[in-house]
């Protein structure tokens, strides 16, 4: 994720523990992490880690350069090669500005193009609740629900086409990478985070 490190120290005054994993994804403190890793490591960084660090530094610069253009931004995030990374960053950005219609629509296009139909339907569901006056998108959502659904939603005010009696059995919930999310959730817990 494009984590923003605010300080070198956490709340307890302890220095962040930097390891090789912190050098293997694009974020704003790569240089600081690399210097810290070099300074406190018991060995020189392996060449594959140095190479990955250089790639991530370049990718981070590229991501930041296009962040105002949602389509280019998502393409750059996709270059990292981890859908969860992309999901976390897009949804974080949407959470900061729910009214970014272009980002919503670009994200939904990405989900559809990449076969993430469960997430697509959940995202349509959220979008249609934030933009109640967008009747055209609601119709698109309805047709996509018929095509790719059903999906279990936790809303109390379901649209008529979202109501599904056997969603749980016919459509087990998966995380963004396709893993069954019910396997580690205790019975009675809400499975879909709708905020």
- Bridge partner list, 15: 9
For 14, list phi and psi in degrees, rounded to 5.
-85, 140
Residues 18-58: pLDDT tens digits? 778 888 999 998 998 898 888 877 888 889 999 999 999 99
Residues 3-23: pLDDT tens digits? 444 445 555 555 567 778 888
Digit-by-digit pLDDT tens for the chain (195 residues) are: 444 444 455 555 555 677 788 889 999 989 988 988 888 778 888 899 999 999 999 999 999 999 999 999 999 999 999 999 999 999 999 999 999 999 999 999 999 999 999 999 999 999 999 999 999 999 999 999 999 988 889 888 899 999 876 555 444 555 545 555 444 433 332 333 322
For 150, list phi and psi in degrees, rounded to 5.
-85, 170
Q: Are 25 and 1 in contact (CB under 8 A)?
A: yes
Residues 104-132: b if buried by 16+ CB within 10 A, e if exposed: bebbbebbbeeebbbbbbbbbbbbbeeee
């Amino acid at each position: 994720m494009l984590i923003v490190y605010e300080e070198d120290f956490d709340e307890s005054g302890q220095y962040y523990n930097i390891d090789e994993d912190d050098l293997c994804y694009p974020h704003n403190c790569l240089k600081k992490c690399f210097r810290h890793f070099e300074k406190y490591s018991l060995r020189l960084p392996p060449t594959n880690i140095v190479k990955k660090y250089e790639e991530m530094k370049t990718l981070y610069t590229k991501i930041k350069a296009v962040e105002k253009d949602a389509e280019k931004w998502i393409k750059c995030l996709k270059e990292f090669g981890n859908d969860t990374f992309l999901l976390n960053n897009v949804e974080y950005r949407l959470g900061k500005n729910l009214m970014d219609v272009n980002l919503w629509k670009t994200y939904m296009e990405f989900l559809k193009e990449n076969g993430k139909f469960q997430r697509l339907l959940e995202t349509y569901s959220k979008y249609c609740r934030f933009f109640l006056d967008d009747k055209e998108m609601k119709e698109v959502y309805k047709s996509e629900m018929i095509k790719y659904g059903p999906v279990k939603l936790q809303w109390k005010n379901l649209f008529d086409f979202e109501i599904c009696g056997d969603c749980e059995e016919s459509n087990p919930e998966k995380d963004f990478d396709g893993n069954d999310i019910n396997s580690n959730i205790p019975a009675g817990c809400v499975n879909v985070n709708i905020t």
